[in-house]
Amino acid sequence: MATAVRAFVGVGANLGDAPATVRAALQALQRLPQSRWVASSSLYRSAPLDAPGPDFVNAVVELRTELGPQALLQHLQAIEQRFGRVRGARNAPRTLDLDLLLYGELCIDEPALTLPHPRAHLRGFVLRPLAELDPQLSLPGLGAIAIWLQRAADQPVHRMAADLE
């Protein structure tokens, strides 16, 4: 049996009922094979970066998984397809976006997968929920999440109250 790896998945949506979609995606992630759900962050609302469209609702999930990084990515993309994800322009509005942010300490740069996620350290909507789950987290090859979070402090990211989602 393979050793379980700590992985973090970003969840986001800004089309349709985005909070409901994110909550449903969180449930789908709980059923990933060879994986154990550890925790999820609160939901956060933020304006899209470098693109028009409605606000995004985002969260981050922590998993322990025995799936390899490419296999995990394939499962994430299958969940996106079930939710009607259409891949278009970068940063375009979407029904669901699942990003493999971190996979243990792995650093890779391949055409289909870059780890850590290539823009995670620049995005407040990723950093805030990651820091909620583990304020001491270090991004492989990039350093402490707390430093990156300070650098992204000018990006408005609002934690959603559970009763207002």
Q: Which of 85, 87, 109, 151 is catalytic?
A: 85
The answer to whether 97 is a known catalytic residue is yes
**What is d(CA 51, CA 60) in angstroms, rounded to the nearest whole number?**
21
The tokens describing 45, both together, are: 């609302």
Q: Which of 97, 119, 128, 159 is catalytic?
A: 97
Q: Which of 45, 90, 99, 109 is catalytic?
A: 99
Contact 30, 65 (CB under 8 A): no
From residue 26, give the alpha-carbon distance in Å to each of 10, 43, 68.
Answer: 10, 11, 20
Beta-ladder partners of 139: 143
The answer to whether 85 is a known catalytic residue is yes
Annotated catalytic residues are 85, 94, 97, 99
